[in-house]
Structure 1
Amino acid sequence: MSSLTTHARLQYSLLVAAIGMAYSVPDTTQQFAVEPSIAQELNDKITERSDFLGRINIVPVTEIKGQKVMIGTNGPVSSRTNTKTTDREAKDLLDLDGLDYELFHTESDVALRFATIDSWAKFPDFAERYAAAVQRQIALDRIMVGWNGVSAAPQTDLATHPLLQDVNKGWLQIAREQMSAQVLQEVVAESGKITLGVGGDYVNLDALVHDVKQMIDPVFRDAGDLIAIIGSDLMAYDKGKLYANQAGTPTEKERIEGAQVIATYGGLPSFIIPFFPANAVVVTSWDNLSIYFQDSSWRRHLLENPKRSRVEDYNGRNEGYVIEQLGKFAAAENVELKA
């Protein structure tokens, strides 16, 4: 289809009008800057598309580089001072580890073929459906980059890096670079990997998570807000072992399913997150993971391109990933399963 049908043209016009109204701009076919307050609303909608993003921090910032902005302490603040001899000294509320954040330009450009618009034109809520689909994918992309990103390449290559490894540096890469001692990648130097299972470095997942937790700074270790994020292969392996041990006991199997295997590993509430590496474990708290975006950086442009029989929706903004308190993050990677 080289052009829009009359009905599809009407729906597309309504989409353009809806976007113009939402962003308070008269013409969406020219690139426009999104006002910071509207950018915040847009990010809120993206966050709502993901349970995980709703648990962590999505933070608007003014500068493309700067100091971390979330409030947190790097130790106790309670004390006593003999003011007869010594001045009282306030503890800094921020964890000033000397490491700043940096944001990188990120594009989320979407092509919508004329034929697709024509197919969707029968839906009266076409504009809402389209917005929801794009917002959900941006949410998923943010999670994918957060766990798999290793660089911010000038030119990304989706074919070579299907998990968006070259879009930005995610949390695991930040940990590797800024606190490598808290990223466990091997136990026996000769093996080059951590092994899990009978005869391995760790006999079960509980023991592995417990050891990862021990790498957390003691100040944070017993604060009560730590969680374990567990790779799907490790969870499936442990689940299989439980089923094998409970073979022929249907009531026990039902209990396992209802409790999502077991409620805790290593004494911590445990979760599976989309796009998290299948053979890794991270111990941290939800509020220790952040995505920063520059509130004045969002740009958008709608372009009808008959040469390609499609509409093109260009979105760009500056964003980056932050571990708020480095001492409150530890990981194990490249875990190899033993039969």
Structure 2
Amino acid sequence: MMSQLSLQARQTYHALQTSVARTYGVESVREEFNVEPSLAQTLNDRITLSSAFLQRINVIGVTQIKGEKVMIGVNGTVTGRTNTDSKEREPRNVLDLNGIGYELFDTHSDVTLKFSTIDAWAKFTDFAQRYSAAVQRQIGLDRIMIGWHGVEAKPDTDRTANPLLQDVNKGWMQIAREQAPQQVMVEGKTPGKILIGRLGDYANLDALVFDVSLMIDEEFRDGGDLVAIIGRDLLAQDKGKLYAAQGHTPTEKERVELAQVVATYGGLPSYTCPHFPATGLVVTSFDNLSIYFQDTSWRRYLLENPKRSRTEDYNSRNEGYVVEQLGKFAAIEAANIEFLAEQAPVALEARLAPQIQEALTS
């Protein structure tokens, strides 16, 4: 039997529609409407504020669906001297304008609520705020997931085949693979593998982070803003130690959960973030990672669908990912990491035991 909204739930849902219409300055949200650029920026800011990681990187509104990168980065030094008696001063063009720009793709974030769910939530007077905050947080988490796992932008995405949203857009890792493959470590001494362990390519995480940091172009290495973003499996042992030592202290526990896990690895401040590959490692600066959205492209509408006993909330915008300076980004292929079982060194007494036994019996 097809369910219907109860009177209280219907009033709650209509209050949500009225709240959304008022927020966006439209008469009704029951048909698709364009979100004004200033309000799109406000909505984007709220999504950004839902994630500590998104607050650290650039999330920028742009006007064109394709174009030059927005953030200005400087490659190389700008200070020197010219003997003007013999020649003119020549300013250096050091902006990272390498001709590789950005491209945005149509992106949908569509949400449905069953009538029964609205009935259950109808008792909350702040239903509209709770609902909006939940949707905004999930859009933020989806953005991060695509940033680390996205490899292509298919016209028709498949959430079942690509549960990490790999087909929604090209994320930062894929951009590096395609535009600067030399910045992505794919193997050590063994083809197709990066071995971690005393007898592997890297004895420990410190050594791996240090080596990856040397893949950063020379002019960026001493800028003081590089960080290591590290996956949970690589961090597991040290994270466990930090929780054991400081997990009982609320402020320290919050620091662990929000971002910074340990002081340094390989000489760099080290962080993790939601949906980062479990065995992944990226060395860059936070402001080198960007998400662009077209500020005139955000569209939305809400409707009731009694045929499915649910409400539907449609959000769409043009969106894309950018590594601002490719030489300031270095990473490993997380899928190629393998951990070697640690073999404890044989004690001296054990190694000498056969000789000692032979001497005693001779």
Does TM, normalized by the shorter one, top 0.5? yes
| Distance in 1 of aligned mates of 2:42 and 2:246 | 41
Partner of 2:64: 63
Q: Distance in 2 between matches of 1:12 and 1:111?
A: 12
Q: Indicate whether 1:87 and 2:88 are aligned.
A: yes
Q: Read off the aligned partner of 1:119 and give its amino acid letter.
A: A
Instruction: Trace 1:16-55 onto structure 2 (pairs within 5 A).
Output: 16-55=17-56
Distance in 2 between residues matched to 1:306 and 1:146, nearest whole Å: 36
Extract unaligned runs of 5+ from structure 2: 342-362
**Cα distance in structure 2, aligned partners of 1:88 and 1:125:** 64
1:317 is aligned to 317
Post-superposition offset of 1:2? 2.0
Which letter does structure 1 place at the counterpart of 2:284?
A: T
Q: Deviations over 1:71-106 (max 9, x none)?
A: 210111112122222222233363112101000010
Q: Distance between the aligned counterparts of 2:278 and 2:81, measured in 1?
A: 48
- Could you tell me which residue of structure 2 aligns to residue 148 of structure 1? 149
For residues 271-329 of structure 1, give each alpha carbon's deviation from its aligned partner in whole angstroms, at most 9, with x where no partner exists.
11111111111000000000000000001011110000111000000000000001100
Separation of aligned partners in 1, 2:247 and 2:125:
44
AA partner of residue 155 (structure 1):
D
Secondary structure in 2 matching 1:263: strand
Q: Deviations over 1:182-221 (max 9, x none)?
A: 100101243x110111111000000000000000001000
Which is higher, the Rg of structure 1 or of structure 2?
Answer: 2
The residue number in structure 2 matching 1:298 is 298
Q: CA deviation at 1:256?
A: 9.5
Cα distance in 2 for residues equivalent to 1:111 and 1:239: 37
The answer to whether residue 227 in structure 2 is matched with residue 236 in structure 1 is no
1:254 aligned partner: 245
Q: Shift in Å at residue 253 of structure 1? A: 5.5
Indicate if the aligned counterparts of 2:41 and 2:61 stay in contact, CA closer than 8 A. Answer: yes
Aligned AA (1:173): Q
Name 2:275's counterpart in structure 1: 275
For structure 1, the 5+ residue unaligned runs are 244-251
What CA distance in whole angstroms lies between the structure 2 residues aligned with 1:262 and 1:134?
A: 31
Moved more, 252-261 or 276-285: 252-261
Asked whether the equivalents of residues 256 and 262 of structure 1 are also in contact (C-alpha less than 8 Å), the reply is no
1:30-52, CA deviations, whole angstroms, 9 ceiling, x for partnerless residues? 10000000000000000000000
Is 1:74 aligned with 2:72? no
2:147 touches 2:172 (CA, 8 Å); kept in 1?
Answer: yes
SS of 1:283's partner is strand
Q: Which residue of 1 aligns with 2:359?
A: none
How far apart are the structure 1 equivalents of 2:99 and 2:190?
A: 31
Report the AA paired with residue 229 of structure 1: I
Aligned-pair Cα RMSD in Å: 1.8
Q: 2:338 aligns with which of 327, 336, 339?
A: 336
Task: List per-residue Cα deviations over 1:212-271 (Å, max 9, x = no partner).
Answer: 00000010001110000001111114557x79xxxxxxxx95269969664100000001
- Contact 2:238 2:262 survives alignment (8 Å): no
Offset of 1:27 from its aligned partner? 1.2
SS at match of 1:336: strand
Cα distance in 2 between the residues matched to 1:69 and 1:40: 16
Q: Please give the alpha-carbon distance, in whole angstroms, between the structure 2 residues aligned to 1:270 and 1:94.
A: 28
1:284 maps to: 284
Rounded Cα–Cα distance in structure 2 between residues aligned with 1:239 and 1:30: 49
Partner of 1:169 in structure 2? 170
Map 1:71-150; keep pairs closer than 5 Å.
Answer: 71-92=72-93, 94-150=95-151
Q: Which amino acid aligns with 2:38?
A: S
**Using the alignment, how far apart are the partners of 2:194 and 2:272 within structure 1?**
20
Q: Deviations over 1:5-31 (max 9, x none)?
A: 111111111100000000000011110
Aligned to 1:249: none
How far apart are the structure 1 equivalents of 2:173 and 2:12? 43
The secondary structure found in structure 1 opposite 2:314 is strand
AA in 1 matched with 2:283: V
Paired residues, number: 329
Hey, what's the Cα distance between the residues in 1 that align with 2:181 and 2:247?
35
In structure 1, distance between residues paired with 2:175 and 2:295: 23
Q: TM-score, normalised by structure 1?
A: 0.93
The offset of 1:336, in angstroms, is: 1.0
Q: What's the secondary structure of 2:84's corresponding residue?
A: coil
Distance 1:104 1:86, change over 3 A: same
SS of the residue corresponding to residue 215 of structure 1 reads coil
Contact kept in structure 2, 1:205 and 1:238, CA below 8 Å = no
- The aligned amino acid for 2:137 is R
Whether the 8 Å CA contact 1:73–1:94 is kept in 2: the answer is: yes
TM-score, normalised relative to structure 2: 0.87
